[in-house]
Structures are given as C-alpha cells and as structure tokens.
Amino acid sequence: MTPDNHTCAIGEQWSNCADAERREPVEPVLSCSCEAALDKVKDTCCTETYGGLLVATQLWSTFTGLESHGQLYPKHAWGIHGLWPDFCNGSYTQYCDLSRQGEPIDQWFGPYGKLDLLAYMNRYWVSQSDPNWVFWAHEFSKHATCYSTFQAECYGPKAAQHSDLFDFFETVITWQRRLPTFRWLADAGIRPSNSTGYTVSEVQAALTERFNETEAGRGSADNGRTVLNEVWYYYHVRGTPQRAEGRKLDAAAAGGRLTTCATAEGAVKYYERTEGSEN
C-alpha cells in the first residue's frame, strides 16, 4: 500500500489461478477467490483482502430506552446493525486500528455536508440504551478498521478529513437498503406479535425465497433462544465494498450457522415493538 491516491480504476487484470486453463481478463476481483490472495493482489485498497466475507446484519429490538429523547425505531423496518468483514473461513478479527476509535462523531456530519446521511442514520441505524452515534462509532472502530479497502491510506493525503468514516457509513447503507427484511417476512405472513409463535424454518424460508440464499437467523434475549432479534446475510464482494457488487452466499456455505434460534415448532417469538418506540 502506498500513501498515494488509490483511484481503483480497473485496468486489465489477469487470472493467475493455478487451475486456470488460460489467462483471462478479470475485473474486478471477487473476494475470497484465488485472484484475491495477497500475493496476487496489486493494491489491497482496490480488492478486499482482509475480510472478504461480508456479513450484512440487521436488528429487531422492541424498545430503545431513549424514547423520551426522540430516539425511535423506524416503523415497518428492521434496524441496521452493520456490515462486517469476516475472514473467508467465517472467523473474524476486530478493532484493527486503535488510533481510529470512537469520538462524538455526530458533530462531524454538518461541516462536511452530510446532514442527509445523518438524518437517514438517525432513522434506520438506531441504538439501544446509548445515543445513536455511540453505536455508529462502535461499528466503525470494530469493523471498518478491519477492511483492507477502508484503510485510511486508501484515501490518499488529499482526501477530506473523515472520508473513510463517511464512506463506510454510506457503503453500509447501500448494502442494507437492498434487504427489506420486515417486508419480506410480512409478505410471508410473518409479522410482529406478542402472542403468535413462529418456527425458525418458516422465517428462513421466507427470507431465503427473496434473498435467493439462506440467511442466518439469530435468536437471543433469553436462555431458550426463542426471541428473533437479528438476521445475517452473507456475500463475497467484487472489488471494493464501496462498489456494492457482490455474490450472495448461503450461510452454511459461508461458514456460518443457519441459526442460533430454538428450532421447535412455534418456538420463536417475533415480538411487537413497545408502544411509543417507533415512528
């Protein structure tokens, strides 16, 4: 990696895979493929090499704890959790650059003309118990710092301050907007209810039909793992995550578990949000 600007303008690249029958032009490189090996990638700012298994994660919580401050969940929508850079085998690291840790970042948006981004994040990327910016700073410092393509050096010496941070947030949102989990579940008759229980296979079937691969449903909030509160979607990415082009993956094939939820019939609860906790 050099301190120069990394335009990532895709020129002619060639497959160097050992099993390739002939050299073919490849653009851009798919993460976790043989072309994405570190010894074959010329610029790690332009091909994701640290965390090539992307996990787009969403949350369903019933209250924020800060309703009196106007911090509410979006109605008829799951909340954004993040976009995580797992290793190709499904393991992961975190907090890869301690110099890029959380500050009160909500004050940075206005001076850089990002108030529309701030408004969107305050609506759809909502924290529980903490101000939203604490959640955002946590996701940036824990996950963004572990991508090769979001390293500060990738933006060059002339980049505006915080370019990496805003770029990460915008990238997360681009991927997340393609995943209307609430609508996909509702279309299958699966709606929040304080009385009805669902079978986790029903939830997975509804999302799999629309995502075209099996996602990973997460159950927690109690020891019986009966509360549906998170969904994970897996991808490999072409070039940089910022380009928002990827290949959807089955959770099992990606090294993930299909669910941590209870699997008994009707065991999973998808609770309604508390009155006054969404708008």
Please write the tens of the pLDDT for every residue from 52-81: 999 999 999 999 999 999 999 999 999 999
- Active-site pick, 81, 215, 230, 236: 81
Q: How does DSSP classify residue 271?
A: P
Which residue reads 């578990």 in tokens? 257
Q: Does the active-site annotation cover 139?
A: yes
- Active-site pick, 35, 48, 139, 278: 139
More confident residue, 40 or 128: 128
- Mean pLDDT is lowest, of 13-27, 134-148, 151-165, 207-221, for 13-27
What the chain holds in terms of domains, given with CATH numbers, is 34-269 (3.90.730.10)
pLDDT digits (tens, 9 = 90+) for 224-278: 688 999 999 999 999 999 999 999 998 877 666 678 888 889 999 999 999 999 9
- Is this model's pTM higher than 0.75 or not? yes
Q: Is 265 strand, coil or helix?
A: coil
- Active-site pick, 143, 215, 230, 236: 143
Handedness of CA 219, 89, 208, 236 (dihedral sign): positive
First vs last C-alpha separation in the chain: 45
Amino acid letter for position 74: P
Q: How does DSSP classify residue 35?
A: G
Q: DSSP string of 131-176?
A: -HHHHHHHHHHHTGGG-STT-GGGG-TTSPTTHHHHHHHHHHHHHH
CB of 199 closer than 8 Å to CB of 188: no
Q: Does the active-site annotation cover 275?
A: no
Q: With CA atoms as reference, report the closest residue to 247 among 256, 233, 237.
A: 237
The whole-angstrom separation of Cα 187 and Cα 203 is 11
CB of 28 closer than 8 Å to CB of 10: yes
Predicted local distance difference test score (pLDDT) of residue 260: 83
- 87 token code pair: 């290793």
With a pLDDT cut of 90, the percent of the chain lying above it is 68
Predicted local distance difference test score (pLDDT) of residue 15: 47
The whole-angstrom separation of Cα 96 and Cα 10 is 27
Q: Does the active-site annotation cover 143?
A: yes
